[in-house]
A and B are shown apart, each in its own frame.
Chain A
Amino acid sequence: MIPVILRRLRDLVIIMFVVGTALFFLIRSIPGDPAKVLLGIKATPEQLAALRADLGLDGPLWQQYLEWISRAVRGDFGVSIKYREPVTELIFGHLAPTITLAVFATVISFGLTVLLVTWSTVKPTSRLSRFVNRLVQFGLALPEFWTALVLILVFSMTLRWFPPSGYTPLFQDPATALTQLAIPVVVLVIGQTAFFTITLEESVLGELTQLYLRTARVKGLSEWRIATRHVMPNSLLPILTTVGMNFASLIGGIVVIESIFVIPGLGTLLLGAVYARDFPLIQGGVLFVAFLFVFVNLLVDLTYSLADPKVRVA
């Protein structure tokens, strides 16, 4: 168990290092002097020099790089140009909405998927199973930004059940927060559930060819018991990794959703930074998203090794 954790932590460090280095040189490769761009043509040489020092842009490139690394390791990503606040504080200030969306979307769609797939394992010929099987292909094909707008059109503008935008912290005013989160979460759940269902169905189909199921039937277990005790646990293990890898596309969806519903999360922060050409914020924010992705996958792998005896022993 401990070697597994150590190995994964080492991978995390390597990936963060590669991503950080790539980002550093990509951003530095932008032609032109960011300080001049930021201050305009009226800037005095002293102001330019001060801003360059502020942004870590003085000295040769390798020195800047070392400086940046040593600051980044201590969690200091500089000061945002747009907001004039430390990047780290900005990121943590915008983290809650994004995490709320991600957790709600993942938990609801994973739960829904397990229910639907268990049902279709036990009763493959039932109307619901066939319906879900058709529906999944549609769910996969719907673009999130469009589903969101269609749901706004129907449920906010026509039926007036939910507000079309806005965000309230969950613990501040749960009732308002939940009505505001309803449409964004549903949009994310549609895509995620479709994807999880198709992956889990495939895993279950593979599991159903196993011979031990015949033994289970012969000794008189009901189809329900076979599905919940034998098929599901074995099929769920391999798709745990898929859930982790899917985090990247979930974040992509959340960026879009945040921009449509005006939710002040990481996506809105990063998109705003693009238009302001806020390099420190982009660098810190993107690195943080990469960190989240690797961290989530680390957690998934640890759960995996806890759940799977074969991996646990190894």
Chain B
Amino acid sequence: MTQSLWKIAAMVRVMALDLWRDRGALLMTFLLPPLVFLIFSSVFAGTTGDNIQLKLAVADTARTTDSGRLAAALVRSHEVRAEAAPTADEVRRRVKSGQADAGLVIRADPASADKPFLIIADPSRAVAAPLAQARVQQVLASALPDVTLRRTITQLEPALGGFTDEQIENADSAAALMRDDPSGDDGGFFEREAVKDAKVGGGVIAYYAGAVMILFALFSAMQGALGLVDEQSTGVADRLLAGTAGMGPVVSGKFLFLVGQGLIQALLIFATAQVVYGVAVIQHAMLWLPTTLAASACAAGVALGLVSMCRTRDQAQMLSTFVILVLAAIGGSMVPRFLMPPWLQTAGWFTPHAWTIEAYQAILWRDAGISGVYKAWCVLTIVGLFGLVVAHVLARRLRR
């Protein structure tokens, strides 16, 4: 038993020295993950908040007083980056060329009963049209409430069979009052309440910390596991199979090393998350550690199992690239899972990424206890151990 551990420790040392002396690989392994995490979290932290500043090209072809007021209000608004365009065609051109995310043509007086606004958007930016619509309505309600009132009156008039002169006068004075002092109330149905208002933006940060952790754990594990193929091509496997050790200690040593490597990578990523974004990692360390160990074991086992199935380095490299990219895409390491169609979200449960991301989010964002993560721990650990067993079995078959 002691001798077996001694052999495994010898192989862990080989892997550690090998990585330590390959400075390029060392940087890739430990510097890249926190860096990519910072980039991802910077990009995606904004997508769920209110701070997306849409670039809107605005053409006022109606040229009424109110349409001019709306165009000016949009340009002044901090909710949207509006730029005036001379014609509707110019708006279309800017949207098509990507100079603007969406376009607005004010083609009739905003208070008229028709559809005075035309939104122009590129179908490839699906979110741009509804977002532009919402921003225009927001600005309309806050800066031009009198227009909204007059439009409502215009729409009601046919249904009520006309207004009396006195009513019209009252409405005009109310509109004038609103015009002089806009209350800022959008007059809509909705009021918003932020869940856990103390952690604004933290959900996405926790999401991407987990997403980048499992992405790099698997990526680095695949690179480390490639050593198994090298050991066959350089004759190390022949040397060991001719002795008493066989390839068992090599596989086990690599597994332990890769788990340790995943743990250090996770430490660096989550330390960055805590320092830069204030994600409460240390406060959840007792659950974070088993989650990280399970995710690292899963990555190490999957990598060793897959590489063991390959005969050449080229094969292994191709397979690992395929697996890393596809699992990351389906599992939610690239694009948040909540943006995916339901069937893809379901398919995500067949990847370690989804389980890992879910477990980290449960711990760090939803303050879940063991009951919220034990299933993920079990799945990740079982998959990892299965991969390890496959690697051991295939290594034994090398003897022949």
Partners in one complex: no
